[in-house]
A and B are shown apart, each in its own frame.
Chain A
Amino acid sequence: MKYIDEFRDKGLARRLAETIAAEAHPGRDYRLMEFCGGHTHAIFRYGVQHLMPPNLSFIHGPGCPVCVLPMARIDHAIALATQHDVTLCTYGDLMRVPASERKSLLKAKADGADIRMIYSTQDVLRIARENPDRQVVFFAIGFETTTPPTAVAVKTARAEGLTNFSVFCNHVLTPSALQTILSTAGPDGVQLDGILGPSHVSTLIGSRPYRFVAEQFGVPVVIAGFEPLDVMQSALMLVRQLNDGRCEVENQYTRAVSEEGNRKAQALIDEVFRIRPEFEWRGLGFLPNSALALDDAYADLDAEERFPVEFAPAKEIKGCECPAILRGVKTPTDCKLFGNPCTPDNPMGSCMVSSEGACAAYWSYGRFRAASLQPKVESRS
């Protein structure tokens, strides 16, 4: 496939690995946080960590929107579907994420709620058009990548005068999560030397919004594509910045990311959304200015306004270390539930559900599976 296979070339990967090993100074550590779950996935799938010298490590960040969604928002969505008998539509990634009392959207659906998996916001609009007698709510989630398609749906619904469409909005903003991670980095938090910046988020917002990382926190950033050669080249670019004592925002993923990003999509986001004063992130807590809600001009399409719900405070699953993993201070194997009982077939936390979650990546690519795990645990590799 064009633009995929070329960036998975084994020979080039081997030589990049040799270069990184030759240039990394043996006396220092290179702790690179990959912000995006897409990078985590690539690093595990292609065994990139094993090609790196021992003093270069990847730390998994909070860049998986499914993983950082707090349980309370899924409880809220389930309450919305069950208390108001609406048709709730959402992306497949969310269906199995555990909510309180080991519920999930999938379980609520099995129990009779009208919950549907969609691929695109265009599907939600179609469902709303075809079912004028039912209220159709889009459970919207995602970083800046997934936000503009929601904006398009909102504008289309308004233009068509669809009165049975609304949005339960959970769109979150990448830079504020980075800001939080960096503010708590250091002796008590995660130790970071560089950041692999988001790929597809950056196609939308551009590379410019990451300048504060270099300027304010003195941490170099390389916007990195998701293919293995992209990740490796970006790691080398970070090693070179660190060796030279430079601290810049560099862009490795120039084939899709520009400095200013996709202006048309940004204008849509600005028009349809406003910034929430604060929003809860799993693992990071309530972060100011870190998420979006529908702008006042579209408040009538806001499902939170249209369908007020009541639900008990969320109950986290005891022992699940997702919050610490999302902050980069623990790894999945630090979790006592990892592998037994928590597996992708029986996820206890969000990091095991999404294929971009650190726990799912650790488990699915098996390289870190402890030999001591119970034999009854099914192998997936």
Chain B
Amino acid sequence: MCLAIPARITSIDVAADTAKVALGSVGKEISLALIEDAAVGDYVLIHVGYALNKISEEEAQRTLEMIAQMGLLADEQELVPEPTSTVTGPGGQR
């Protein structure tokens, strides 16, 4: 019920305060009524047809780096992420 999914804004309709987002291979129209300064290319969290917030690229990167550093037992080489899968589960779908 509170799940939300990240999606990239592909176009914006300023008059209607809506945007089109790319969700995998599907396009979807969402409302921008809850956020400010959205721009094409931004990633936003989508929930029940609304963008809830923007996702910060730098923060995402920083978190991944922190996770990598937290794995104290890891050796440097292993830190390269494994190839990403295309599986998205119900956790990310709604």
Point out residues on A near B: beta carbons under 8 Å: 1-12, 15-16, 18-19, 22, 36-38, 41-42, 45, 63-66, 91, 93, 119-123, 141-143, 145-146, 148-149, 152, 198-201, 203-204, 226-227, 229-230, 233, 236, 252-257, 262, 264-265, 268, 354-356
- 10 A-B Cβ contacts within 8 A? A1-B6, A3-B6, A6-B81, A63-B2, A120-B50, A146-B48, A149-B48, A233-B67, A256-B55, A264-B34
Contacts of B1 in A (CB 8 A): 37, 64-66, 91, 93, 141-143, 145-146, 354, 356
**Inter-chain contact A255/B67, CB cutoff 8 Å:** no
Cα–Cα distance between A374 and B4 once the two chains are bound (Å): 36
**Inter-chain contact B84/A3, CB cutoff 8 Å:** no
B47 interface contact, C-beta 8 A? yes
- Interface bits B44-88 vs A (CB < 8 Å: 1, else 0): 010111101101110110111011101111100011011011101
**Inter-chain contact A15/B73, CB cutoff 8 Å:** yes
Within the complex, what minimum Cβ distance (angstroms) separates B50 from chain A? 5
Within the complex, what minimum Cβ distance (angstroms) separates A279 from chain B? 17
By beta carbon, the residue of chain A nearest B46 is A120
Cα–Cα distance between A64 and B92 once the two chains are bound (Å): 16
Cα–Cα distance between A345 and B91 once the two chains are bound (Å): 19
Contacts of B35 in A (CB 8 A): 262, 264-265
Number of interface residues of B (CB under 8 A): 49
**Inter-chain contact A2/B6, CB cutoff 8 Å:** yes
Contacts of B31 in A (CB 8 A): 120, 122, 149, 152
Choice from B8, B24, B45, B49 contacting A121 with Cβ under 8 Å: B49
Contacts of B39 in A (CB 8 A): none
Contacts of B40 in A (CB 8 A): none
Contacts of A257 in B (CB 8 A): 53
Contacts of B70 in A (CB 8 A): 15-16, 19, 233, 236
**Inter-chain contact A203/B53, CB cutoff 8 Å:** yes
Cα–Cα distance between A5 and B5 once the two chains are bound (Å): 12
**Inter-chain contact A255/B56, CB cutoff 8 Å:** yes
**Inter-chain contact B88/A203, CB cutoff 8 Å:** no
Contacts of A229 in B (CB 8 A): 67
By beta carbon, the residue of chain B nearest A67 is B1
Contacts of A38 in B (CB 8 A): 2-3, 91
- Shortest 3 CB-CB distances between A and B: which pairs? A120-B49, A15-B71, A5-B84
**Inter-chain contact A1/B49, CB cutoff 8 Å:** no
**Inter-chain contact A3/B43, CB cutoff 8 Å:** yes
Contacts of A6 in B (CB 8 A): 60, 64, 81, 84
**Inter-chain contact B2/A142, CB cutoff 8 Å:** yes
Cα–Cα distance between A254 and B62 once the two chains are bound (Å): 9
Cα–Cα distance between A10 and B80 once the two chains are bound (Å): 11
Choice from A1, A148, A356 contacting B3 with Cβ under 8 Å: A356
**Inter-chain contact A254/B73, CB cutoff 8 Å:** no
Within the complex, what minimum Cβ distance (angstroms) separates A370 from chain B? 24
Cα–Cα distance between A146 and B71 once the two chains are bound (Å): 35
**Inter-chain contact A4/B6, CB cutoff 8 Å:** yes
Within the complex, what minimum Cβ distance (angstroms) separates A256 from chain B? 5
Cα–Cα distance between A18 and B91 once the two chains are bound (Å): 24
Within the complex, what minimum Cβ distance (angstroms) separates A6 from chain B? 6
Within the complex, what minimum Cβ distance (angstroms) separates A358 from chain B? 14
Cα–Cα distance between A198 and B52 once the two chains are bound (Å): 14
By beta carbon, the residue of chain B nearest A237 is B70
- Interface bits B18-47 vs A (CB < 8 Å: 1, else 0): 000000100000010111100000010101
Within the complex, what minimum Cβ distance (angstroms) separates B90 from chain A? 5
Contacts of B68 in A (CB 8 A): 12
Cα–Cα distance between A142 and B72 once the two chains are bound (Å): 39
**Inter-chain contact B63/A252, CB cutoff 8 Å:** yes
